[in-house]
Amino acid sequence: MSSSHTEDPIELEQPCPIRDVLDRIGDQWSLLILEALALRTLRFNELHREIGDVSRQVLSRTLKRLENDGYISRTVYAEVPPRVEYALTGLGRSFLEPMQKLIQWAEDNHEAICRSRKQRQALREQVQ
Amino acid sequence: MSSSHTEDPIELEQPCPIRDVLDRIGDQWSLLILEALALRTLRFNELHREIGDVSRQVLSRTLKRLENDGYISRTVYAEVPPRVEYALTGLGRSFLEPMQKLIQWAEDNHEAICRSRKQRQALREQVQ
DNA sequence: CGGAATCCAACGTGATACTG
DNA sequence: CAGTATCACGTTGGATTCCG
């Protein structure tokens, strides 16, 4: 095989900015990572413990994407054992501002959404 | 067959509200639909034309999910030919408020993100 | 310690065809 | 007009294994 498929053919231009943003941080872990880093700079395994369920593999991929998009920075210290620190960039920090509003909304309205789902499900079961 | 697999085993309780919200509106079309309905009530095929690329199949599924979660309402008029109107609910409207902030952020910072990606890609190509 | 390579399963998306 | 059923496909997440 001539082409390794480790290099993703990254789409550099996206017509829709919000689509572009949601595609990246709308995944399972990105937001959790950003919030963890909002409190303080963390090393790889610290993040791993902090987040909990994520595999190292996925954590690594997600971090690379976030770094690529400029949300976080990655600093390698030439030590033994190696030390790598992840931190929010200015972009990452500024992103969390509007995002916090949305998070707040989600918390405030989560119950209403759950209620709506239960109602709908009850209706569906009646029909059957 | 005893069990039709049209009924999705919907997760009624989600531990993380924001995860729960993003999972629903973070897909390809939900947000576009909500924004279209923010301007005015629309019928199924009007929405279909408005959104553009989406297939009727996917549009239908997405609408059902949004209705399930209480973001939109679906009104059927007993006419011939049938008429079905979709509109934002109060929940849907209130959701768009914090969401608009995020959309604004995405538009403001989209260029910075694209720049960051290009830089990273240039670095990657140097390494190779 | 901090990853990368590989493989696989699950899910979302979409095309097509059919229905009330 | 407003959908649903079925199937195929690509992308993502995750487990496992190996490396500097």
Nearest to B89 by CA among B109, B111, B74: B74
Query: In whole angstroms, what is the distance from residue B33 CA to residue B56 CA?
Result: 13
Q: Is the CB of A28 under 7 A from strand D?
A: yes
Dump pLDDT digits (tens) for A31-42: 999 999 999 999
Residue with smallest Cα–C1' gap to C17:
B57
Nucleotides of strand C within 7 Å of the protein's CB atoms = 1-6, 12-17, 20
Distance B56 CA to D7 C1' (A): 16
Question: Would you list the domain boundaries of chain B?
Answer: 17-94
Q: Tell me the pLDDT band of A52, cut-offs 50, 70 and 90.
A: confident
Give chain A's contact residues with B (Cβ, < 8 Å): 7, 10, 12-14, 17-22, 26, 28, 31, 67-70, 91, 94-95, 97-99, 101-107, 109-110, 112-118, 120-121, 124, 128
- What pLDDT sits at residue B125? 73
Q: Model-level pTM?
A: 0.88
Interval A91-108 mean pLDDT:
97
Q: Does domain A17-94 fall into CATH 1.10.10.10?
A: yes
Q: Do A98 and B94 touch (CB under 8 A)?
A: no
